[in-house]
Amino acid sequence: MAVLTSGYGTGLSNKQKLSRAWVLKPTVYSTEEVSAGNGSGNATALSTTTTVSIVATKASATHVSLADGIEGQLKIIIHKTRGGSNDLVITPTNFGAGDTLTSNLASRAVQLLFDGANWQVVAGEITGTAEMVIA
């Protein structure tokens, strides 16, 4: 049987071996900056291969869509810039909590997780009447 040897010595306990397996640094793999599209039929498609989508809205450009991801995938959507009174409407192909998410102010964010069948909200400013609204 081989003895585990590292800079910490030999014969680490199982707990020590497990603690060394985790990298304790957050990583953002990639980002994209997009402008919303004009209506749900012409929504701007958010990338499912980037971790963070930063979205700007303006007059008649308020909609984005999100296709299904892969199980366990996290997606962060930030409503960075709001032109005038134009809300951001996010329409995932499959959304566990409803049909859409709407942001009525800039500098709002939501984090979604794809569970293999639906996008689920795991973090963000979510209510039924303000912030990111599920409809």
Q: Where are the domains of the chain?
A: 25-134
Q: How far apart are CA 46 and CA 32, in angstroms?
A: 8
Tell me which residue of 20, 120, 21 sits closest to 68, measured CA to CA: 120
Fold annotation for 25-134: Jelly Rolls (2.60.120)
According to DSSP, residue 92 is labeled E
Q: How far apart are CA 83 and CA 58, in angstroms?
A: 4
Q: How far apart are CA 100 and CA 65, in angstroms?
A: 9
Q: Quick one: average pLDDT of 57-64?
A: 88
Q: How confident is the model at residue 6 (pLDDT cuts 50, 70, 90)?
A: low
Per the model's pLDDT, the better-predicted residue between 7 and 111 turns out to be 111
Q: Quick one: average pLDDT of 5-34?
A: 62
Which pLDDT belongs to residue 33? 86
Q: How confident is the model at residue 95 (pLDDT cuts 50, 70, 90)?
A: very high
> What's the pTM value of the predicted model, to 2 decimals?
0.73
Q: How far apart are CA 123 and CA 111, in angstroms?
A: 5
Q: Is the pLDDT of residue 19 over 90?
A: no
Q: Is the pLDDT of residue 82 over 70?
A: yes
pLDDT tens per residue, range 62-72: 999 999 999 98
Which pLDDT belongs to residue 86? 87
Q: Cα–Cα distances in Å, from 20 out to 4, 17, 26?
A: 12, 5, 16
Q: How many other C-beta atoms are found inside a 10 Å radius of the C-beta of residue 20?
A: 13
